[in-house]
Amino acid sequence: MVKLQLDIKADSRYGFDRNRVREALTKALIEHGQDGNIEISLSIVGERKIRELKKKYFNLDEVTDVLSFPLEDGEAMLGDIVICYPQAKRQAMQWNRLVDEEIEFLVCHGLLHLLGIHHD
C-alpha cells in the first residue's frame, strides 16, 4: 500500500487541482510497483525560475515544462518535481486539453524520472 506525502509549493495565481495530482501520483506509484511511505516535493513555478534551474543544473538557458531531481536510492523521499505553469498552460492549449490534464501528465512524467525511468 502506498502512503504518499506530497508537499506542494505553488503561487496562488497558478490554479490547479491538487487532489487530481495526488491521485495521479498515487496511481502511477502503484503501477510501477512502489510500496510504503513515499515523499515527493512538487513546485509549480514561473518561467524565470524554471529557466534559472535549467541553467544551474543542466547548463541550458531555456524554459522547459518539467524538471525532476531524484534523491538517493532507498530513501522514502523520492525527490523534487518542478513544473513551469506558463509552459504547461501553453502545451495544454497546443494539445487541446485542460491545464489540469497537462499538469497531471507532467507530474507523472516527472515521477518516472524520479523512479529512474528515462527517455532520449
Give the whole-angstrom CA distance, residue 120 versus residue 63.
18
Q: Are 64 and 87 in contact (CB under 8 A)?
A: yes
Q: What's the DSSP call for residue 11?
A: -
Residue 32 marked as a ligand binder: no
CA-based nearest residue to 57, from 89, 85, 80: 80
118 is in an annotated binding site: no
Amino acid at 98: L
Q: Which residue is it, cell 525527490?
A: 79
Binding positions are 109, 113, 119
Binding-site annotation: residue ranges for Zn(2+) = 109, 113, 119
